[in-house]
Amino acid sequence: MSSHIRRSMPLFPIGIVMQLTGLSARQIRYYEEHGLVSPARTEGNRRLFSFNDIDRLLEIKDLIEQGVNLAGIKQIFASRKQAEQPEQPKQPNKSNTPATPKVVKQDLSEEELRELLRTELMQAGRFNRATLRQGDMARFFH
């Protein structure tokens, strides 16, 4: 039950995220402006992204490439939220309402995460220091 904390732990500065996602800093910040991602901030006001954020960014990238605009992506994320956190069903479906939006895609991560971490590890190697990460990272390579 600690996978959540790891996935939501702010670890990467925007530079790393750029390489991991292939998005420009501009785009990343732009998406943040639109509430598509909410990275944490350091004391110096630097953005720190978590694995969750990166996953999200990757999804956004895919969607954009598929021709979906920000508004559309917002909706997709919104409807997904509903699916995961079904607001108290005020009205029980008497008739068989197939109220299941079906999140069409997504079993992304696992494979993409590999690529991400690989890159991240290489980065970490650049400034051979943050070996703190390698320990945590290792868990992802089981």
Residue type, 132: L
39: left (phi over 0), alpha (psi -120 to 50) or beta: beta
Of 45 and 100, CB closest to DNA = 45
Residue type, 18: M
Of 16 and 95, CB closest to DNA = 16
The length of the chain in residues reads 142
Residue ranges binding DNA (CB under 7 A): 13-16, 18, 24-27, 29-30, 44-47, 64, 70
Of 46 and 138, CB closest to DNA = 46
Q: How far is the CB of 47 from DNA (least distance, A)?
A: 3
Q: What does the alpha-carbon distance between residue 103 and residue 93 come to, in Å, rounded to a whole number?
A: 20
Q: How far is the CB of 93 from DNA (least distance, A)?
A: 38
Q: How far is the CB of 3 from DNA (least distance, A)?
A: 25
Q: For residue 142, give both structure tokens.
A: 């089981």
